Amino acid sequence: MKIHSFSAKTYDEFKEKLTGLISLNDFNPTLAFAFVSTSFPLAEIAKEFSKHNIKLFGETSSGELLFNNTESGVFDNSGVFTLLDINTNYFKLKLFKRRNSTSFDFGKQVGNFIVGHFTNPSVIIGASGLDLDGQRFVEGIKEIAGNDLVMFGGLAGDDGKFEETFVFDENTVSNSGATLIVFDNTKIKLTGMATSGWVGLGMNLTITKSDGNVVYTIDNKPALDVYLEYLTINVDDMPAIGLEYPLLIKRKDNIDALRAVTGIDKEKRSLLFAGSVPEGSTVMFSSSPGFEVVESTKSKVLDFADNNPESDLFLLFSCVARHLALGPMVEEEIQLVIDKWNVPIAGFFTYGEIGTNPGKACDFYNQTYTLVSIKEVK
Amino acid sequence: MSNLFDDLSDKIKKINSFDDFEQLKLSIITDIHKLKQRDIVKDFQLKKYLKDKNIINSLLVKTSSDLHKVIEESRLRADELNILLNTIPAFVFFKDTRYRYVLVNKSFTNFIDLPENEIIGKTLQDLTFSHLLLSKYSMHEKKVLEEGVEAYNITEKLKKDNQTLWLNTNLAPVKNNQHEIIGLVGISWDITSNKIYEAELKKAKIQAEEGTKTKSQFLANMSHEIRTPLNGILGMAQILNDTKLTKKQKDIVNILTTSGENLLVLINDILDFSKIEAGKINFINKDFRLDKPIREIYDILSRRADEKGLLLYIKFDKNIPVYVNGDEYRFKQVVLNLVNNAIKFTEKGHIKISVEQVGLVEGRHKIKVSVEDTGIGIPEAKKKKLFQSFSQLDPSSTKQYEGTGLGLAISKLLTEMMGGEIGVESQAGKGSVFWFTACFKKGTPPEKVDREKTVERHKRFTNRKISVLVVEDNLINQKISSFSLQKAGMEVTLANNGLEAIELFKEQDFDVILMDVQMPVMDGYEATRKIRKIEKSLNTHIPIIALTANAMQGDAEKCLAAGMDNYISKPFKINKLITILNEIVT
């Protein structure tokens, strides 16, 4: 499996670099990953890949990252592109438009596609639309594909604007859809990990009124006002602050879930979250404990390296909150990957992650560093 | 960072020529880049720290005010609980899994008479006050902690300041969220006063029982005392009636006799009732023809019915058994009472006695006897009161309808004892149906007796002049007995007490002895025992019949135990005595 990756500040730079790669003699890319700022002309990009008969997995981002042998860095308002020369029998790529279905039903629709291909599928997935309830979406997929499904991915971003996000393939761009690659896991092996490091702060609060991923009241007070009052912030600071200081939900299964704010309703004083926040659940505010969170991520990556010493390519779906909270230091936890494996790592900052920790069912997360290794089985 | 600066400064100092610069250029640029990078990081960190500080500070402020509220609330709650705990007039304690006190309330410390800090952390054994049977009590605590089950009403006796105290304790296991037992909670209270009260109750019960016994004894004595003169009155009236009298005199004697008999019925009712109430009545179950007592009642009462112009008739259902096993006398008593009442309260019309079998319960015949009349009837509201003791419908009616008001109450008690019920259906002014049920075991007909032999014996007895020894201290009774017996053709010898009786028994031959029980010098029991002793050597047996006014239960047994053959209560009817004599002598 041959891999080439590059970043681009502009569409022209993208076009130029792509043309350069295509012209290489010994490189015939069949699949590409594109993580780009919403400032790029998405349809034009799609057309380029379509023209060269390359299947495209595209998502808009809230910051991009690429570390390979020639360049390394975390970017804003850029695009990161990874081209793979891979046997087309090893994967299926598909983009779904959500239309009017619920998050759960949409997940079921996607799940049906997954189980329709390969006896042992594994999945890279992306989804757009700020109103999507990531948790219910993943639950819908698992409802059909089962709890053993290995799946990684992220919810598309929009450069921190929280207005409109997109997924796209080589033919279509959708602001409310999902795109996925189903791999034949016997040929292409996906392994990975998801880690957060965020800690709870303050008192227990109770979600007194919610509907799916919309929270109306917390402790019988309007949800938006609770955020403004407890953190002493202005309404303009939302949802960005709500992303960096998400709610920690104390789940009954003892696996606490972090749920980041991805939207606000000033009229209804309600908050939109990236995943479900069940009515009656106990929550508390949370924060990154400081820059040592980077150390914690690094030690988890090293543990992962012990069990997965070889890889062809890494994708990273890292929460936009990590970008906000860690700033330039976010590079440290990414740099480690190329130092350790010496293979490219490409990715973007998301509005929610989907990951599978070893031995666990895949789940929907916020605030995490979700790393996935793609390795061709030889 | 300072090192990087120092390095850079050293490098710059070394630049003395353009060549030096060319040589160090890359190194200096790298250092500057590093410094810039560090600057960016530091700048971000500072901003981030500031942001975090602001956010987390306000969260902290808000949280601390929230916490303050919560703490205040829980302190108030704790105060309330403390007040509750220390106001409970019982000893409350909480122990850990090693039986050590963790928490005790004020009542507890007051009781043990030790300050709280000398109790906490100690086990019961550590506390010297204890005089409990520790092993027994500890067993309960062990069970609570090991099996997680509650233990209720553990009663312990202990001594404190030379006083005996009783404690009652309930124990319950205390579990944490993981359902693990982390200790036990107990509540004990002093039940000494209850125990004292209990003992007093027991004493009172015994006293009450003794009281009942005394009452029974009193009634027995009373009955004796009343019956003896009554016997005299009735006996003399009987004798007087047999002499030549004018019509007016005869009327007076009749009234005398009737009044006396009524008084006798009254005394018998009161006696009966108190006997049943005291539980001193025993049923004597024998096989009997079910129709016999009913027919006898018909024979006794039909004349009275006739006199009032009432039609009295019996209807036996086909399904009734011929023989049953039960107390014929008590069964008859209830029927008699109902029929008597019916006649008493009916002015015209009829009285119908119906007998039927209404069920077979565990092989026992359930017999229902109904007495229908066309009398005054009973209003609905008064039906319930009817079967209570000393109750006649209208206090004013006592004058019109004499009686003790005990009849129905006695009947109710008797039917209950016969496994039945009693009731009434009635409409005021239209008559009543009084009914009762009784359960009897199946009876067997008696073996056929040799009729000729009986007749012969009877003849033998009645053909000959019987010599009777009457032992009686009361002169009037002596006279009545003499008259009655002589009138029946018997030869009478009198003895004033037991001692005289023994002397006479030794000297003469008698066919039978009528023995009074209570007499001066020597009573009837003693005399009987002596006579039986004498007889033992002679191998003879003279019938001795007790003449007793003691109609109480137990008297009969006493007489029989003393060696008497039968007894008859005073005042006796001569016919009854003759019947008994016949039974014994033959």
ipTM, two decimals? 0.74
Query: Looking at chain A, which residue has its C-alpha nearest residue B40?
Result: A328
Cα B508 from Cα A76, distance rounded (Å):
149
DSSP code for A253 = T
What is the per-residue pLDDT for B2? Answer: 63
Residues of B in contact with A241 (CB under 8 A): 55
Residues of A in contact with B56 (CB under 8 A): 201, 287
Nearest Cα to Cα of residue A183 among A307, A33, A66: A33
Residues of B in contact with A203 (CB under 8 A): 63, 66-67, 70
Q: Do A180 and A212 have their domain in common?
A: no
In this predicted model, which residue has the larger pLDDT, A107 or B478?
A: A107
What's the structural domain count of chain A? 2
Domain range for A12: 2-195+292-376
Is the pLDDT reported for residue B455 higher than 60? no
What is the per-residue pLDDT for A254? Answer: 64
Query: Looking at chain B, which residue has its C-alpha nearest residue A202?
Result: B63
Record: contact B44-A328, CB cut-off 8 A:
yes
Record: contact A327-B41, CB cut-off 8 A:
yes
Record: contact B59-A285, CB cut-off 8 A:
yes
Q: How many residues does chain B have?
A: 586
The pLDDT of B356-372, averaged and rounded, is 91
Residue B67 near residue A203 (C-beta atoms within 8 A) = yes
Is the pLDDT reported for residue B453 higher than 80? no
Those residues of chain A that have pLDDT short of 70 are 252-255
Residue B389 near residue B406 (C-beta atoms within 8 A) = yes
Single out the residue in A242, A272, A287 at which a domain terminates.
A287
Residues of A in contact with B45 (CB under 8 A): 291, 327, 329
The pLDDT of B464-477, averaged and rounded, is 84
Is the pLDDT reported for residue B366 higher than 60? yes
Question: Hey, of B55, B60, B63, B177, which one would you mutate to test binding to chain A, going by the most A CBs within 10 A of its CB?
Answer: B55
pTM for the model stands at 0.56
Distance from CA of B31 to the nearest CA of A (A): 18
Q: Do A213 and A89 have their domain in common?
A: no
**DSSP three-state, residue B553:** coil
Residue A21 near residue A6 (C-beta atoms within 8 A) = yes
Record: contact A230-B58, CB cut-off 8 A:
yes
* DSSP state letters, B229-248: HHHHHHHHHHHHHTS---HH
From the list A241, A285, A328, which residue is nearest B41 (CB)? A328
Single out the residue in A265, A287, A309 at which a domain terminates.
A287
From the list B59, B66, B67, which residue is nearest A231 (CB)? B59
Give residue B452's pLDDT band: very low, low, confident or very high (50, 70, 90).
very low
Residues of A in contact with B55 (CB under 8 A): 231-233, 241, 245, 287
pLDDT tens sequence across B253-306:
888 887 887 787 777 777 777 777 666 677 888 899 999 889 888 888 888 888
Record: contact A203-B58, CB cut-off 8 A:
no
Q: Residue A237 contacts by C-beta under 8 Å, 6 or more apart in sequence?
A: A231
Query: Looking at chain B, which residue has its C-alpha nearest residue A292?
Result: B45
Is the pLDDT reported for residue B245 higher than 60? yes
Mean pLDDT score of chain B: 83
Crossing angle between the packed helical segments B498-507 and B524-538, to the nearest 10 degrees: 20
What type of residue is B487? K
Cα B505 from Cα B403, distance rounded (Å):
44
What type of residue is A136? R
pLDDT tens sequence across B68-81:
998 999 999 999 99
Q: Do A125 and A271 have their domain in common?
A: no
Residues of B in contact with A230 (CB under 8 A): 58-59, 62
Question: Hey, of A198, A229, A231, A332, which one would you mutate to test binding to chain B, going by the most B CBs within 10 A of its CB?
Answer: A231
Beta strands B491-495 and B467-471 are parallel
Q: Do A325 and A360 have their domain in common?
A: yes
Question: Hey, of B48, B61, B63, B67, which one would you mutate to test binding to chain A, going by the most A CBs within 10 A of its CB?
Answer: B48
From the list A202, A327, A329, which residue is nearest B59 (CB)? A202
Nearest Cα to Cα of residue A180 among A105, A101, A91: A91
pLDDT tens sequence across B138-158:
889 999 999 999 999 988 888
From the list B41, B54, B67, which residue is nearest A232 (CB)? B54
pLDDT tens sequence across B373-420:
998 888 887 777 788 765 544 444 444 445 556 788 888 888 998 999
DSSP code for A261 = E
Query: Looking at chain B, which residue has its C-alpha nearest residue A234?
Result: B55
Give residue B454's pLDDT band: very low, low, confident or very high (50, 70, 90).
very low
Q: For chain B, what percent of residues have pLDDT higher than 70?
A: 88
Residues of A in contact with B67 (CB under 8 A): 203
Is the pLDDT reported for residue B527 higher than 60? yes
Residues of B in contact with A329 (CB under 8 A): 41, 44-45
Q: Do A161 and A65 have their domain in common?
A: yes
How many beta-carbon pairs under 8 angstroms link A with B?
44
Query: Looking at chain A, which residue has its C-alpha nearest residue B60?
Result: A202
Q: Do A304 and A265 have their domain in common?
A: no
Q: Do A280 and A180 have their domain in common?
A: no
Residue A351 near residue A130 (C-beta atoms within 8 A) = yes
Query: Looking at chain A, which residue has its C-alpha nearest residue B67?
Result: A203
Distance from CA of B59 to the nearest CA of A (A): 5
Record: contact A231-B52, CB cut-off 8 A:
no
Q: Do A242 and A266 have their domain in common?
A: yes
Single out the residue in A258, A287, A316 at which a domain terminates.
A287
Q: Do A333 and A234 have their domain in common?
A: no
The pLDDT of B544-555, averaged and rounded, is 70
Nearest Cα to Cα of residue A60 among A44, A81, A36, A77: A36
Q: Do A94 and A204 have their domain in common?
A: no
Residue B550 near residue B564 (C-beta atoms within 8 A) = no
Residue B476 near residue B235 (C-beta atoms within 8 A) = yes
Q: Do A212 and A186 have their domain in common?
A: no
Record: contact B44-A329, CB cut-off 8 A:
yes
pLDDT tens sequence across B88-136:
889 999 999 999 999 999 999 988 888 999 999 998 888 765 555 566 7
Query: Looking at chain A, which residue has its C-alpha nearest residue B49?
Result: A290
Q: Do A263 and A322 have their domain in common?
A: no
